[in-house]
Chain A
Amino acid sequence: MEREGGSSDGFQNGILGNIDLRPRESVLDLTGQIHHLPCCIKHDGPSSVSHYFKPKKTGIEVEVLTIEEACFRGRKLQGTTISLPDGYSGLVLGKKKNPGKRKASEISEANLNCWEIGAKFQSITYWNHDSLPSQDDTFLRCFHWFAVANALHKPITDDDLASYISSSKVKLMGE
């Protein structure tokens, strides 16, 4: 995480590190317990969330979104729970606690910046302060990226290629 202000080196290359996505036995399933709040809580650590934070269904539906209600620090929040699309998972990453013993020569930035999966989730509840969730919310619009990413990065199969070629032939013949 540390970078000297003047050095552009680290910025261009990013920070070296690695994320271990191998499934582990101790991975928790936090589906239904992930909340995205419209505020910054300057705290990092456990808290007795379920004893204080009590979302309730309102029975209201807006644009197919089921609206829930909760409050936090006196503010009224309106939120909705969305499932992550098939093929995607939400991950909670944590720094690897014990990267093992290493020789001094092997201790590099990459080795110190190791992450692993602490928990997984398949849904997330996001909350707005004072406004009903809607498809126009930035948070939901982020999901558009999945379609774009597929178009850009999904490997092209032989079938894709064949159907593309045949369709362009039809087009040519039509002209």
Chain B
Amino acid sequence: MGSDAPKWASEPCIMGIDEAGRGPVLGPMVYGCLYCAASYQKTLPSLNFADSKTLKEEKREEIFESLKSDGSIGWAVDVIDPKELSAKMLKKNKINLNEISHDSAIGLVARVLGMGVLLTEVYVDTVGDAEKYNIKLSERFPGVKFIVSKKADSLYPVVSGASIVAKVTRDRALHDWVLEETVENMHRNFGSGYPGDPETKAWLKHHTHSIFGFPTLVRFSWGTCSPYFKDMVEVLWESDKLGEEESSSCGKRQLKLSSLGFTGCKRRSEEVESSSKGRCMFFQSRKLEQMTHF
């Protein structure tokens, strides 16, 4: 998604990057960028960009349509699926949201440069520590000057523009979302997706499943989900247990597991592992064991 490199792209260009949907417990997170020739910069304020959050939805849509038809402006988006957010944040080696955000912004810069746009200055709303983020970006793209700051979306029109691109894309993605799950009684009144939104809360509550948790629209890694998990069937992962071992609180839980006869997991427990003494190496290394109880 986005536009191809126009003629003015060989002039020195500026770009703004902003995100939408970082906080919500459901739906995609969208990174958007907007770029134009540095010489066009002074025209930007006349387009009435403002931080997307301060604008009404219709106004944002209207501005998005007008900037799409503006030949002096280019834009691109990176839509990160909630499934991908959950998966990355719940990997064995967890990737946190800041890292995912940084990677997405880096991806946009690389994509726009790759299109042949001569970026000289890039304005970014900060994620985490601004200075560290700036170093990370500058090291990756030595030819580009990065301006990383808090509230960049209200300070720089080019970032305000990017925030509109991101916000409108996120809203449309959520509006048109097709639930992957084929269960009856599901509906699409998600609300805003923000954890505090009563509509979102009601939707979450209505869409819990004791085994599967939630539809994949939901970001399972969000703290907002934790209270719901308490009422669901417990699921234990090897990767979680490794983490627990580090904090040395695993003993009890594993004992409980092995007494319940969950074979896949009980082998993790040292106590059971040691009972394989005398078992041939061939069987040990394949985790094969003669069953006398079932």
B286-A145 in contact (CB<8A): yes
Whole-angstrom distance between the alpha carbons of A11 and B288 in the complex? 18
Q: Mask for A19-41, Cβ within 8 A of B = 1, else 0?
A: 00000000000000000001111
Whole-angstrom distance between the alpha carbons of A18 and B239 in the complex? 37
Whole-angstrom distance between the alpha carbons of A148 and B288 in the complex? 13
Whole-angstrom distance between the alpha carbons of A106 and B244 in the complex? 49
A74-B219 in contact (CB<8A): yes
B87-A39 in contact (CB<8A): no
- The answer to whether the Cβ of A54 comes within 8 Å of any Cβ in the partner chain is yes
- The answer to whether the Cβ of B120 comes within 8 Å of any Cβ in the partner chain is no
Give the residues in chain B near A171, CB-CB below 8 Å.
Answer: none
Q: Mask for B88-126, Cβ within 8 A of A = 1, else 0?
A: 011110000000000000000000000000000000000
- The answer to whether the Cβ of A103 comes within 8 Å of any Cβ in the partner chain is no
- B20 to chain A minimum Cβ distance, whole angstroms, is 21
Q: Mask for B24-59, Cβ within 8 A of A = 1, else 0?
A: 000000000000000000000000000000000000
Q: Mask for B271-294, Cβ within 8 A of A = 1, else 0?
A: 000000000001001111000111
A72-B212 in contact (CB<8A): yes
- The answer to whether the Cβ of A98 comes within 8 Å of any Cβ in the partner chain is no
A41-B233 in contact (CB<8A): yes
B92-A15 in contact (CB<8A): no
B91-A52 in contact (CB<8A): no
Which of A14, A74, A142 touches B213 (beta carbons < 8 Å)?
A: A74
- The answer to whether the Cβ of A7 comes within 8 Å of any Cβ in the partner chain is no
- The answer to whether the Cβ of B227 comes within 8 Å of any Cβ in the partner chain is no
B90-A75 in contact (CB<8A): yes
Give the residues in chain A near B181, CB-CB below 8 Å.
Answer: 51-52
User: Interface size bucket, A side?
Assistant: 20 to 34
B237-A129 in contact (CB<8A): yes
B182-A51 in contact (CB<8A): yes
Which of B87, B238, B285, B293 touches A74 (beta carbons < 8 Å)?
A: B87
- The answer to whether the Cβ of A130 comes within 8 Å of any Cβ in the partner chain is yes
- The answer to whether the Cβ of A105 comes within 8 Å of any Cβ in the partner chain is no
- The answer to whether the Cβ of A138 comes within 8 Å of any Cβ in the partner chain is yes
Minimum CB distance partner of A13 in chain B: B292
- The answer to whether the Cβ of A154 comes within 8 Å of any Cβ in the partner chain is no
- B140 to chain A minimum Cβ distance, whole angstroms, is 25
A15-B286 in contact (CB<8A): no
- The answer to whether the Cβ of A141 comes within 8 Å of any Cβ in the partner chain is yes
- A19 to chain B minimum Cβ distance, whole angstroms, is 9
Q: Mask for B217-228, Cβ within 8 A of A = 1, else 0?
A: 011110000000
- A36 to chain B minimum Cβ distance, whole angstroms, is 8
- The answer to whether the Cβ of A150 comes within 8 Å of any Cβ in the partner chain is no
Give the residues in chain B near A141, CB-CB below 8 Å.
Answer: 285-286
- The answer to whether the Cβ of B209 comes within 8 Å of any Cβ in the partner chain is yes
- The answer to whether the Cβ of B178 comes within 8 Å of any Cβ in the partner chain is no
Give the residues in chain B near A15, CB-CB below 8 Å.
Answer: 292-293
Which of A39, A47, A52, A148 touches B282 (beta carbons < 8 Å)?
A: A148
Binds A, one of B155-163, B195-203, B258-266: B258-266
- The answer to whether the Cβ of B1 comes within 8 Å of any Cβ in the partner chain is no
Give the residues in chain B near A148, CB-CB below 8 Å.
Answer: 282
B238-A75 in contact (CB<8A): no
Near B by CB (< 8 A), chain A positions 63-99 give: 71-76
A52-B235 in contact (CB<8A): no
- The answer to whether the Cβ of A102 comes within 8 Å of any Cβ in the partner chain is no
Q: Among the interface residues A3, A54, A74, which one has the most CB atoms of the partner chain B within 10 A?
A: A74
Whole-angstrom distance between the alpha carbons of A15 and B261 in the complex? 15
Known contacts: A54-B180, A142-B288, A145-B288. The answer to whether A38 contacts B210 by CB under 8 A is no
Give the residues in chain B near A156, CB-CB below 8 Å.
Answer: none
A-B pairs with the 7 shortest C-beta distances? A74-B220, A74-B86, A76-B87, A14-B292, A52-B212, A43-B233, A40-B236
Residues of chain B touching chain A, judged by Cβ–Cβ distance below 8 Å, are 83, 86-87, 89-92, 180-183, 209-213, 215-216, 218-221, 233-239, 257, 260, 262, 264-265, 282, 285-288, 292-294
A-B CB contact pairs (8 Å), 18 listed: A38-B238, A39-B264, A41-B211, A41-B234, A42-B260, A47-B210, A47-B211, A47-B212, A51-B181, A71-B216, A74-B86, A74-B218, A76-B91, A138-B285, A138-B287, A141-B286, A142-B286, A145-B286
Residues of chain A touching chain B, judged by Cβ–Cβ distance below 8 Å, are 1, 3, 11, 14-15, 38-43, 47-48, 50-54, 71-76, 129-130, 138, 141-142, 144-145, 148
